[in-house]
Amino acid sequence: MPRERVTLRDVARLAGVHPGTASRALNAATRSLVNSETAQRVLEAALTLDFRPNPVARSLKTRRSDTVGVLIPDLTNPLFPPIVRGIEDHLAARGYVALIGNTDNDDQREMRVFEGMRSRQVDGFILATARRRHPLLLRAAEDELAVVLVNRVVDSHAFPSASVDDARGSGLAVAHLAGLGHRRLAHLGGPQALSTGVGRYQGFLAGMETAGLEVDPALVAFADGFSQQEGARRCRDLLRVSPRCTAVVVANDLLALGCYAALAEAGLRCPEDVSIVGFNDMPFIDRVHPPLTSVAFSHYRIGAEAARLVLERIADRHAPVTATFLQPELVVRQSTAPPPRGG
Amino acid sequence: MPRERVTLRDVARLAGVHPGTASRALNAATRSLVNSETAQRVLEAALTLDFRPNPVARSLKTRRSDTVGVLIPDLTNPLFPPIVRGIEDHLAARGYVALIGNTDNDDQREMRVFEGMRSRQVDGFILATARRRHPLLLRAAEDELAVVLVNRVVDSHAFPSASVDDARGSGLAVAHLAGLGHRRLAHLGGPQALSTGVGRYQGFLAGMETAGLEVDPALVAFADGFSQQEGARRCRDLLRVSPRCTAVVVANDLLALGCYAALAEAGLRCPEDVSIVGFNDMPFIDRVHPPLTSVAFSHYRIGAEAARLVLERIADRHAPVTATFLQPELVVRQSTAPPPRGG
DNA sequence: CACGCGGCCGCAAGCGTTTGCAAGCGGACC
DNA sequence: GGTCCGCTTGCAAACGCTTGCGGCCGCGTG
């Protein structure tokens, strides 16, 4: 367990070769350039000295860093930790590490951490912060950075992405409620500047159509952000329209929690008076009261998939861009029930 | 918005000075070594060229990286994201970034990510993974790395740390329950290899003593980890002893959720039959059913404090080590009530 | 007037790698 | 036997920055 840093020259000296040769021998990609016996000697020398190449020096030369930047709107949103885990696990298995940054949905801040990471020579980015039209992303594209999107996508198909089939998810929710006998459905949507917001809204519309139900424009509201407060605020509005809806398809679990609050304020019970279905099936949402029916998908998997994509992209900047969409499923819990009599 | 990378030589050329001088001018610490007029000229040149120093090159030379490694047992445990936020916000404000790694409570894995970060030249570490006696930490200490602990501490006082006064927290819990009239209290403790486990246990004992209550050894159990499963398992055991306890002081909210499950299995109600108080007041724990009474403290603040400490340590490796303990408070919700008649 | 000293700045040697270039060395081929 | 070629390997120049050292210049002092 040598305390002093052992460098390439040390192993070269021990193996009796020039550092350049040692470098080639150590690097799998260039190993074929050196005689296999000497390569072997170098490998052994490296092993006995417990040589760890200095990634910083290597970065300086190669302009790569085996690091990818991950931009998250807010890590305390329970949706993201499992995604990050998926990313990290996948990257770690391949010798990469993740540099995490929160943006708080703030453009300024996003730009700052983006530039910070970039100057730190990250090889690529995974963004969970995409808006449908995103200035940062345009710049990234023209600079030919390796960027992939997770959870949210952009309108243009310029970036690889890993996300869930939002429309399908909402469709499942509508079908479930329609099956229970609901006819008067509301939609509490997310910000329409986000792909998740519009996708889930479109899915709601499509689902209503296939269920043969009419959508009442008064029963559609959009939140400005995915938060409990926004959920409560918009839900209050929705509850004011009469006749009242008997169920609401909500674009996100946090918004749904807000709905719970609004219902309680209004003296309404869930699911007896109003059914609620959320989206994301976020951790612990099965423990709230009542346990929330929600559209589920594996957060971990979209994270891992995003990591896979970014590595692919790093390896070949001009690989075809692939967008993968996980198929969601509805997990039915106790926030949905048949509509009240006369509803 | 120049696309080509602008280097120090570029700004030096523009300012008409030697790159070395430019370097000194740009670096606040060495600025006094250069004439203030030329310094000004260099600054302006840097500004007009939009110069961003290459941190990698700087790292190579200085062996510093403005990066700190953060080791987390498991990011999907809701306790940690707010801590990480606190760390990142504090670091970001000072030009540092955080390299996050999960260890899954696995020594091997911890060692790997630790070494990975170290070779990437991180300036310091914040560990949320400390066990009371921790081999990794011993090595770190002898290598004189800047290491601080967050949430958990070690037995030796060799490391700065930011955490909560665990004993006091349990004490508050006991006092609250005693005040409600409970006499037969159980303790579901955490792993005794962790400072949080023993601290909360000690606090329980002390609290019982000051409340003038006897602790029944049969009513004390320790979980092997902070998970819902472990909570349910140990709670089942606890509920088997007779006469039954009327309240249990639980070392962690996840364990408490497990208790909820165990109670439900046993056909017991919370709080009518058994009161439960948790620890951490983790996000969304106010939304479970019943809302959990829990020992609260600011996760964000211990994160930020840890960040402050690690920067302090980086600046002066031999600064006195300070351990700061936040004072917790009990937030009373609906999982606690007076004991049942005859309890 | 000589000397010393301090302020400012240029010089160049790195930090630990990677990599284009070229040289040495056999062997094959004519 | 000479030429050419391919395989290995050494050489040295980067990558972009920091920093010890020393030089230059101007001024104060004895």
Condensed to tens digits (0 to 9), the pLDDT of residues A194-239 reads 999 999 999 999 999 999 999 999 999 999 999 999 999 999 999 9
Partner residue facing B60 (CB), from A60, A84, A101: A60
**Any CB–CB contact under 8 A between A116 and chain B?**
yes
Rounded to two decimals, the pTM is 0.91
d(CA A317, CA A294): 37
Q: In chain A, whose CA is at the least distance from the CA of B113?
A: A92
d(CA A255, CA A235): 9
Percentage of the residues of chain B whose pLDDT score is greater than 70: 98
| Cα dihedral across residues B275, B276, B282, B285: positive or negative | negative
- Residue A147's nearest CA partner among A312, A324, A300, A303 is A312
Measured from the Cβ of residue A4, the count of other Cβ atoms closer than 10 Å reads 6
Contact (CB<8Å) B76/A76: no
If you average pLDDT over residues B152-162, what whole number do you get?
A: 93
Q: Give B-chain residues touching A60 at CB under 8 angstroms.
A: 54, 56-57, 60
Q: What angle do CA A220, A226, A229 make, to 5 degrees?
A: 85
Measured from the Cβ of residue A158, the count of other Cβ atoms closer than 10 Å reads 14
Count how many Cα atoms sit within 13 Å of the Cα of residue A337 in the half-sphere of its side chain.
13
Q: With a CB-CB cutoff of 8 Å, which residues 234-263 of chain A face chain B?
A: 257, 260
A113 near A101, Cβ under 8 Å? yes
If you average pLDDT over residues B313-331, what whole number do you get?
A: 93
Distance B98 CA to C22 C1' (A): 45
* All protein residues with a CB under 7 A from any atom of strand C: A 5, 7-9, 19-20, 23-24, 26-27, 30, 51-54, 57-58, 60-62; B 16-21, 32-39, 57, 60-61
Q: Give A-chain residues touching B55 at CB under 8 angstroms.
A: 119-121
Percentage of the residues of chain B whose pLDDT score is greater than 90: 82
| Cα dihedral across residues A32, A33, A39, A42: positive or negative | negative
CB contacts < 8 A, A to B, total 116
Which pLDDT belongs to residue A173?
Answer: 98
pLDDT tens-digit series, residues B263-285: 999 999 999 999 999 999 999 99
Contact (CB<8Å) B113/A102: no
Partner residue facing A97 (CB), from B59, B99, B121: B99
d(CA B259, CA B261): 5
> Pick the residue with more confidence: A302 or B4?
A302
CA distances from B217 to A167, B25, B193, B198, B214 (A): 56, 68, 19, 15, 9
Which pLDDT belongs to residue B233?
Answer: 98
String of b and e for A95-133 (b: at least 16 CB within 10 Å)?
ebbbbbbbbeeeeeebeebbebbeebbbbbbbbbbbbbe
Which pLDDT belongs to residue B4?
Answer: 67
If you average pLDDT over residues B43-59, what whole number do you get?
A: 93
Going by pLDDT thresholds of 50, 70 and 90, the confidence category of residue B142 is confident
Strand C positions within 7 A of protein Cβ atoms? 7-20
Contact (CB<8Å) B120/A100: no
Which pLDDT belongs to residue B115?
Answer: 85
If you average pLDDT over residues A150-165, what whole number do you get?
A: 94
**Any CB–CB contact under 8 A between A97 and chain B?**
yes
Partner residue facing A76 (CB), from B3, B82, B260: B82
Structural domains of chain A, with CATH: 8-53 (1.10.260), 65-164+298-327 (3.40.50.2300), 166-296 (3.40.50.2300)
Residues with Cβ within 8 Å of B149's Cβ and at least 6 positions away in sequence, in order, are B126, B127, B128, B130, B159, B160, B161, B162, B163, B306
If you average pLDDT over residues A281-301, what whole number do you get?
A: 96
pLDDT tens-digit series, residues B81-117: 999 999 999 999 888 989 999 999 899 899 888 888 8
Position A266 pLDDT exceeds 70: yes
Helical pair B8-15 and B19-26, crossing angle rounded to 10 deg: 100
Q: Give A-chain residues touching B228 at CB under 8 angstroms.
A: none
Residues with Cβ within 8 Å of B73's Cβ and at least 6 positions away in sequence, in order, are B80, B102, B103, B104, B105, B128, B129
How does DSSP assign B291-331, residue by residue?
PPEEEE--HHHHHHHHHHHHHHHHH-TTSPP-EEEEPPEEE
Local structure of B65: helix, strand or coil = coil
Which pLDDT belongs to residue A2?
Answer: 41
A313 near A146, Cβ under 8 Å? yes
d(CA B94, CA B88): 10
Which pLDDT belongs to residue A276?
Answer: 98
Distance A128 CA to C17 C1' (A): 34
If you average pLDDT over residues A260-281, what whole number do you get?
A: 97
- Considering only CA atoms, name the residue closest to the C1' of nucleotide D18: B61
If you average pLDDT over residues B19-39, what whole number do you get?
A: 92
Distance B62 CA to C19 C1' (A): 25
Average pLDDT along chain B: 93
Position A1 pLDDT exceeds 50: no
Counting other chains too, the contacts that A264-273 makes at CB distance below 8 Å and 24 or more residues apart are A265/A232, A265/A236, A266/A236, A266/A239, A268/A239, A270/A335, A271/A334, A271/A335, A271/A336, A271/A337, A272/A337, A272/A340, A273/A246, A273/A340
Please give the nucleotide, over all strands, whose C1' is closest to the CA of residue B36.
Answer: C8
If you average pLDDT over residues A24-40, what whole number do you get?
A: 91
Pairing label, strands A220-222, A161-164: unpaired
d(CA B51, CA B78): 40
d(CA B43, CA B15): 9
Distance A31 CA to D5 C1' (A): 21
Distance B334 CA to C28 C1' (A): 91
Which pLDDT belongs to residue A222?
Answer: 98
Going by pLDDT thresholds of 50, 70 and 90, the confidence category of residue B1 is very low
- Residue B111's nearest CA partner among B88, B144, B83, B140 is B140
- Residue A289's nearest CA partner among B177, B285, B109, B341 is B285
pLDDT tens-digit series, residues B182-224: 999 999 999 999 999 999 999 999 999 999 999 999 999 999 9
A145 near A89, Cβ under 8 Å? no
Which pLDDT belongs to residue B319?
Answer: 87
